[in-house]
Amino acid sequence: MSSVTSGNGRVIDIAIRIGIVVLTLTTAAIHLSLGGLLFTMNAVGYAALAVAMVAPLALAERVRWLTRFALLGFTLATIIGWVLIGPRFPLAYTTKFIEVGLVALLIVEILRAHGGPVGVLRQLATLIPARFRWFAPSA
């Protein structure tokens, strides 16, 4: 999961992952409680990504980096959507506070798992077909 291999590092990685899943499921539950197709689909998306974050399947583990970025993008899209058209009431602000915390934890996990910003850029560069790269990411 992480380039950090010490015992303390592993505990921190697990704590961060648990925090991500708890915040993701919390915001999913809130959206589900609001009813309506948009909120229900948002809840389903959050729940699916929470499961993908902890699924012990080999495929899920190999693409965990992609799951992190998908959850980050999904959360940011939810926040931006709310800023543009969302209702303003106390539960909405609570949910946005939870989602901002989720974004922060995801950024921390992404940086820890990939060895910082350069590692993240290397991982993203693997998505670009070789013929379109002007640089070669190191392995």
Give the pLDDT score at 1: 46
| Average pLDDT value over all residues in the chain | 88
Tokens at 41, concatenated = 């689909």
∠ CA 56-129-134, rounded to 5°: 125
A 10 A CB-CB count for 60 gives 15
Model confidence at 136, in pLDDT bands (50, 70, 90)?
low
Model confidence at 130, in pLDDT bands (50, 70, 90)?
low
Tokens at 75, concatenated = 């959360």
Q: What is the pTM of this model?
A: 0.83
Is pLDDT larger for residue 76 or for residue 134? 76
**What would the mean pLDDT of 102-130 be, rounded to a whole number?**
85
Is pLDDT larger for residue 87 or for residue 74? 74
Is pLDDT larger for residue 135 or for residue 106? 106
* Alpha helices, H only, the chain: 7-34, 37-54, 58-62, 64-85, 90-114, 117-125
**What would the mean pLDDT of 70-99 be, rounded to a whole number?**
96
Tokens at 48, concatenated = 């699916």
In tens, the pLDDT along 25-67 reads 999 999 999 999 999 999 999 999 999 999 988 887 888 888 9
**What would the mean pLDDT of 83-107 be, rounded to a whole number?**
96
